């Protein structure tokens, strides 16, 4: 039976700050987003972020069934994060595990403050995050895509949630850790912001940082979130732009 052994690169970052995948400390990986790609769901989004490939789908708000789960004064939000069996280097055991239960919870908690829940009493909003291919940072990429899918579903939102991870490799604070950095770096810190007022809805820290490093990391995360927020806006505008073009062409 083949055994997959991942080896630690000799150097994760050079003295002058060149990272193992060639990026500088402040470079995000390439990000591409698209909305409305699943016609059966009320809202959907697809994101490519580095090597991550993630689909997010939203159903609802729908009448809560069975009735006893309904909340009289607001919508109930459920979230399921799943990794496809073929999403990792080694075939995963299909189905939920402890990690996916945790990530479902943190993604849900990152999104809930963005939704005007009280607009939809007695209903359920279901959010699905399906990781087709994983390459570090799936919780932040999944959160970013899920927020887009909520917007695409036309759900009343206070704002969108843009999420990104920052990390520490030796003395360097780097944005958007890649797979090797996630595995062998010194610290990893996923952060989600409810834009525009930049309320933090998720912050986890795995590994040690000094207070100064933490402040630098948080400030870099904020700057990256702005870029991601802008990319979300463009993705939401794109079908509109296409529709406008189509109407213009038909009118000719
Ligand atoms: P995140 O994807 O949010 O960074 P983790 O830090 O838990 O979450 O995981 C980092 C990366 O490790 C994942 O993106 C994925 O590429 C890989 N990974 C996680 N779980 C598994 C697994 N069960 N098998 C193989 N690779 C995994």
Low-confidence winner among 14-18, 49-53, 248-252 (lowest mean pLDDT): 248-252
pLDDT digit string (tens) for 3-19?
566 788 999 999 999 99
pLDDT at 140: 98
What's the CA angle centered on 199, arms 75 and 125, to 5 degrees?
Answer: 20
Measured by CA distance, the residue closest to atom 12 of ligand 1 is 136
Q: Provide, rounded to the nearest whole percent, the portion of the chain with pLDDT above 90.
A: 86
Q: At what angle do helices 138-152 and 211-250 cross, to 10 degrees?
A: 40
Q: Given this model, what pLDDT does residue 225 score?
A: 98
Ligand 1 nearest-atom number relative to CA 103: 3
Pocket of ligand 1, beta carbon within 6 A: 88, 90, 92, 99, 134-139, 179, 182
Query: What's the pTM value of the predicted model, to 2 decimals?
Result: 0.94
Q: Whose Cα sits closest to atom 26 in ligand 1?
A: 88
The arithmetic mean of pLDDT across residues 33-37, rounded, is 95
**Tens digits of residue pLDDT in 98-124:** 999 999 999 999 999 999 999 999 999
pLDDT tier at 179 (50, 70, 90 boundaries)?
very high
The two tokens of residue 16 are: 């002058």
Strand order in the sheet with 161-169: 172-175, 161-169, 187-194, 199-203
Name the pLDDT band for 191 (thresholds 50, 70, 90). Answer: very high
DSSP codes, 209-239: --HHHHHHHHHHHHHHHHHHHHHHHHHHHHH
Ligand 1 center to 26 CA (angstroms): 22
């Amino acid at each position: 039976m083949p055994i997959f052994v991942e080896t630690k690169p000799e150097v994760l970052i050079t003295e002058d700050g060149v990272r193992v995948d060639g990026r500088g400390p402040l470079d995000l990986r390439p990000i591409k987003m698209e909305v409305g790609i699943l016609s059966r769901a009320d809202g959907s989004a697809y994101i490519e972020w580095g090597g991550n490939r993630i689909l997010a789908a939203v159903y609802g708000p729908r009448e809560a069934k069975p009735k006893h789960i309904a909340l009289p004064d607001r919508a109930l939000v459920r979230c399921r994060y799943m990794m496809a069996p073929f999403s990792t280097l080694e075939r995963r055991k299909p189905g939920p595990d402890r990690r996916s239960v945790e990530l479902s919870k943190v993604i849900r908690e990152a999104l809930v403050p963005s939704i005007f829940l009280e607009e939809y009493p007695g209903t359920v909003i279901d959010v699905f995050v399906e990781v087709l291919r994983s390459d570090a940072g799936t919780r932040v990429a999944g959160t970013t895509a899920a927020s887009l899918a909520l917007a695409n579903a036309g759900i009343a939102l206070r704002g969108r949630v843009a999420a990104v991870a920052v990390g520490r490799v030796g003395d360097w604070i780097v944005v958007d850790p890649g797979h090797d950095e996630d595995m062998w770096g010194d610290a990893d810190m996923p952060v989600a912001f409810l834009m525009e007022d930049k309320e933090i809805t998720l912050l986890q820290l795995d590994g040690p940082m000094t207070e100064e490093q933490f402040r630098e990391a948080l400030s870099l995360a904020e700057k990256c979130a702005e870029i991601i927020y802008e990319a979300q806006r463009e993705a939401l505008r794109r079908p509109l732009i296409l529709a406008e073009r189509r109407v213009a062409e038909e009118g000719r």
